[in-house]
């Protein structure tokens, strides 16, 4: 929960500057007249709607060669209804700027399922040493044979995170530069009698939580119970980041919708990834 609050605040801070653009809905066009089949029921359908590759009622797929395939006007209508327009705090002006850029006549941008630069964040419950614990898995697609497969790319687990906190400044312990003259016998104090052995690693050391997670599973200490939540993070669109979440509620604005949107400046991507992965 703390991480989620921090990420929302970060996205709001980064999104302060925006440029007004064309409205999400052109004059005389209803915000949602029911022709868009209400819910974006699947993630694959979100891709098709974003790209303008299906009919407004969702009953017909459009392929290259069809005059409706990736039609600019169709895409502009679709993108207006694939945002969470009920609960998210994304400014309308920012949505407009995003719409104008991804549907620009001279440089339209599309999503590609196999292109990379998007990944899944999967909330799960595992049993760890007899206790139910929340563990977040980060999944990505990779080529496999003639197709693709989802693989676990990273793990966030509070128990792991809190176990690796290097001491800093005057509190940091170190091996004396003349330790070699003692045959490094002071390693006993550093590694056996110390609660923070990570203090004796390089400054750029980062623990590999995925390896640790898999080791604990192989030892039988961590056992899967259930999935609690799934969302997706996209960096495919040039200079933009957005988050895709699922909303189950009455009305038309339901299903897989864009819940966060950020216009990226230099280094913003790295900052957002640090928060997502809990690498603060």
Contact 246, 260 (CB under 8 A): no
Q: What would the pLDDT profile of 65-81 be if each residue is shown by its tens digit?
A: 999 999 999 999 999 88
Sign of the dihedral through C-alpha 258, 261, 266, 270: negative
Q: What would the pLDDT profile of 12-55 be if each residue is shown by its tens digit?
A: 444 433 333 334 433 333 344 454 556 899 999 999 999 999 99
As a whole number of angstroms, the distance between CA 35 and CA 172 comes to 63
As a whole number of angstroms, the distance between CA 261 and CA 198 comes to 37
DSSP string, 198-232: GGGS-TT----HHHHHHHHHHTTSEEEEEEEEEEE
Model confidence at 279: pLDDT above 50: yes
Q: What is the pLDDT of residue 250?
A: 87
pTM of the shown model: 0.82
Least trusted range by pLDDT, from 39-53, 139-153, 156-170, 223-237 = 156-170
């Amino acid at each position: 929960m703390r991480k989620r609050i921090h990420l929302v605040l970060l996205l709001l801070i980064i999104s302060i500057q925006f440029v007004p653009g064309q409205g999400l809905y052109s004059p005389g066009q209803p915000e949602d007249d029911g022709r868009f089949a209400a819910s974006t029921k699947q993630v694959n359908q979100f891709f098709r709607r974003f790209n303008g590759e299906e009919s407004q009622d969702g009953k017909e797929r459009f392929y290259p060669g069809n005059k409706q395939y990736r039609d600019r006007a169709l895409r502009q209508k679709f993108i207006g209804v694939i945002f969470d327009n009920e609960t998210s705090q994304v400014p309308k002006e920012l949505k407009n700027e995003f719409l104008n850029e991804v549907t620009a006549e001279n440089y339209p941008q599309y999503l590609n399922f196999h292109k990379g630069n998007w990944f899944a964040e999967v909330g799960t419950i595992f049993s760890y040493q007899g206790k139910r614990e929340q563990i977040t898995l980060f999944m990505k697609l990779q080529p496999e044979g003639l197709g693709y497969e989802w693989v676990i790319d990273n793990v966030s687990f509070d128990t792991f995170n809190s176990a690796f906190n290097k001491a800093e400044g005057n509190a940091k312990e170190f091996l004396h530069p003349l330790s070699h003259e003692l045959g490094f016998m002071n390693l006993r104090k550093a590694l056996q009698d110390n609660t923070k052995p990570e203090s004796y690693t390089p400054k750029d050391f980062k623990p590999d939580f995925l390896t640790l997670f898999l080791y604990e599973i192989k030892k039988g200490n961590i056992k899967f119970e259930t999935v609690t939540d799934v969302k997706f993070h996209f960096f495919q669109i040039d200079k933009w980041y957005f988050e895709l979440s699922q909303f189950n509620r009455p009305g038309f604005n339901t299903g897989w919708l864009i819940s966060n949107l950020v216009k990226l400046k230099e280094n913003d991507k790295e900052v957002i990834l640090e928060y997502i992965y809990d690498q603060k």
